[in-house]
Structure 1
C-alpha cells in the first residue's frame, strides 16, 4: 500500500511516499481503507516537531479521515467489515495516521458515517467538530450533550467563525437551538460564516465590535467559543452574561492575557481551556455520538456553499497539503487517498 511517512521532524520536505505492507489490526482495532484524509494545524505542528525527535521510528501523519472498515481485530464488537466510518485522533500517541491507504485504529476512535454522507464530510470532522462539541458542553449550567433543543434560549458567540472549529461550532450550536453570533475579519469570511448558519456576523476589526454584539445580545452572550482569548479578552468580558463560559482551544493573535478581574468575577465568568487530545475517552465518546447524530440530521455539510471551502490534494502531494494548512488556507484541506474519495 502507499503511505506517507517521516522519520525525523522538520519542514514538509521530510514527508515521503513509500510502499508498505498492509498490517493486520490488533486487539481492539479495526483496519480502515482510507478514502479521504483530513489535515489539521496540529498535523503539521506535530510533524515540524519544534526541533525534537519524533516519538516513533517512523510516523504516518494526520489524525482525521474517513473510509470503510476492511478488517476487524480481536475483541471488537458492534462494527462490521464494510461499515462506512469517520475517524478521529487516529495518530494520537500512535505512529500511524490517515495519510495512507489502510490504517489500523482503535475501534473507539471510529464512528459510523450515515448513509448519504460523503467521505469528504467525514474527513472534515475529527479535531474541529470534537473541539467545537467540547466547547459547547462545558458550561456550568449548560448541557453536557448536544441534540436538537439542547441550547434553546441560549446565545453563543463563536470567535473566528470562518475557521474549521468555528465553522463546526456554528453548525452544532445552530443544530442544538442556539442563537449564534460570530466574529470574522473580512467580507469573504463573513459570507462563509453566514453560509455555515450564523444568525449574526460582526467584523472584529471594527472599533465598535463589542457595541455591535451588545446590541445583538442585550442580556449578554451565554457561551463563547474562543480561538484568541488574549486578543479578545476585553470584548469577551464586556459582552458576557452572568455565568458565561469562555471555552478557549487556541490563542491566536496573542501570548498572554491581562484579565479585567473585577468585571470578570462580577459576572461569574468561567474560563475553560480545552485540548481535544487530552479531554479523555468519555468526552471523545460523547462528542462522537452527538456529532454522528448531527450528521444524520444533515447539520454538518461542507463545501463553499456550506461555509467551509474544500482544497484537495492527492496522497503524493501530502507535503503541499501540510504547507497549505500552515500558510492559513481558508476552509478545509483534504487528501484524496483512494478513488472512492469522490
Structure 2
C-alpha cells in the first residue's frame, strides 16, 4: 500500500511517499481503507515540531489525525463495527505512528465512528479535530448543556470567533442545530459569506466599525458562550460582550500565547474561561461528542463545500506535502487528501 511518512521534524518536504505492507488489526482494533484524509493545523504543527531536524516520535510517522473510509478488517473483541461499514476516524496519529495519510490505517475501535449514509466521505474527513473541538467548546458553559441536540442551546447566544475556519464552521452548525442564536466575527466579505452559509444568524466584520457595539446591538444582554480561536487578541472584546455567567471556551492560540484579563470586570460578571485540548479532554467527552455529531449528521448538518460555508481544497496522496503547506499558509476552508479513488 502507499503511505506518506516522515522520520524527522521539519518543512513539508520531510513528507515522502513509500510502499508498505497492509497492516493487520490486533485485538480491539479495526482496519480502515481510507478514502479521504483531512489535514488540520495540528497535523502540520506535529510534523514541524519545535524545531526542524529532530527525530520524529516513531521511526516513521504517517501524519493526519482525521479521515474517512470503509472498515476493511476487524480484530478480536471489536463490537459495533463490521467490515463494510462507512466510518470517520479521529485522533488517528495521537500517540501512534499510523495517521490517515495512507491507503489503510489500523486504529483502536474507539477512534472509529460510523458515518451515516447521507454524509459523504468529504464530510467524514472534515469532522474529527474540528467538530469534536467545537462540541466541547459548546458544552462547557456555566449552567449549559453537557450534550448537544435540537433545543439544548435554546435561549442562548453563541459568539463564534473566526466563523470561516473549520472549528468555527462546525461550531456555527452545531450551535444552530442545538437552537442557539449564533453570531460570528470575520475579517472580510468572503468570510462573512462563508459564516452565513454555515448558518450564522449574524456576522460582524471586526475590521469595520466598533465590533463590541455591533455585537451588543444583536445581544444586548451579552453572549453566553464565546468559541474563541484568538484569546489574547480578543480578550478586550470578549470582556465587553460576554454575559453574566458567560463562558469563553478557548481552543487555540492564534494571535499570541499570553492572555491579559481585567480581573474586576470578570469578577463582576462571573465569567468562566475554559481552555480545552482534544488530546487530553478525556474519552468520555470524545465519545459524547461522537454520538451527538452522528445525530447532527443524520439530521443533515455539518455539510462541507462552498455552499455550506467550508470550501474544499484537495490534493492527491502523493502531494500530501502540498496539502500540509496549504494549511500552514492559512488556506480558507478545509484541505483534504484523496487517498483511495473508491471505497
> Which range, TM-score by smaller chain?
over 0.9
Counterpart-to-counterpart distance in 1, 2:264 and 2:208: 25
Q: Among 187, 199, 212, which residue is 1:197 paired with?
A: 199
Equivalent residue pairs, number: 341
Question: 1:46 — aligned with what?
Answer: 46
2: CA distance, partners of 1:303 / 1:76: 34
Q: Which of the residues 146, 171, 177 maps onto 1:169?
A: 171
Q: Which runs of 4+ in 1 moved over 6 A?
A: none
Following the alignment from structure 1 to structure 2, what is the Cα–Cα distance between the partners of residues 295 and 340? 22
Quote the residue 2:19 is aligned against. Answer: 19
Match for residue 332 of structure 2? 330
Indicate the SS of the match to 1:340. coil
1:97 pairs with 2:99? yes
Match status 1:109 vs 2:111: yes
Q: Secondary structure at the match of 1:195?
A: helix
The offset of 1:27, in angstroms, is 1.3
- The TM-score with structure 2 as length reference comes to 0.98
Deviations 1:90-125 (A, max 9, x none): 110000000000000110011111012110000000
SS in 1 for 2:342: helix
SS at 2:92's partner residue?
coil
Give 1:317's aligned residue: 319
3-state DSSP of counterpart to 2:82: coil
Cα offset for 1:253? 1.4
- CA distance in 2 between counterparts of 1:270 and 1:191 reads 31
Aligned-partner Cα distance in 1 for 2:152–2:36: 31
**Residue segments in structure 1 that go unaligned for 5+ positions in a row:** none
Where does residue 147 of structure 2 map in the other structure? 145
- Once the 2 structures are TM-superposed, how far is the Cα of residue 255 of structure 1 from its aligned partner? 2.8
**In 1: Cα distance, 2:255 partner to 2:26 partner:** 43
| Deviation of 1:53 (Å) | 2.4
Instruction: Please provide the CA RMSD for this pair.
Output: 0.8
SS at match of 1:91: coil
| Counterparts of residues 200-239 of structure 1 (less than 5 Å) | 200-239=202-241
CA distance in 1, matches of 2:177, 2:71: 29
Which residue of structure 2 aligns with residue 278 of structure 1?
A: 280
Q: Is 1:240 paired with 2:242?
A: yes
Gaps spanning 5+ residues in structure 2: where? none
CA distance in 2, matches of 1:140, 1:253: 26
Measure how far apart 1:340 and its partner are: 2.0
**C-alpha distance in 2 between matches for 1:81 and 1:255:** 44
Which of residues 181, 185, 188 in structure 1 aligns to 2:187? 185
Q: Please state whether the residue corresponding to 1:180 is helix, strand or coil.
A: strand
Q: Quick one: distance in 2 between partners of 1:199 and 1:34? A: 35
User: Tell me, what secondary structure is at the counterpart of 1:156?
Assistant: strand
Question: What is the CA-CA distance between 1:128 and the residue it aligns to?
Answer: 0.3
Give the Å deviation of 1:26: 1.1
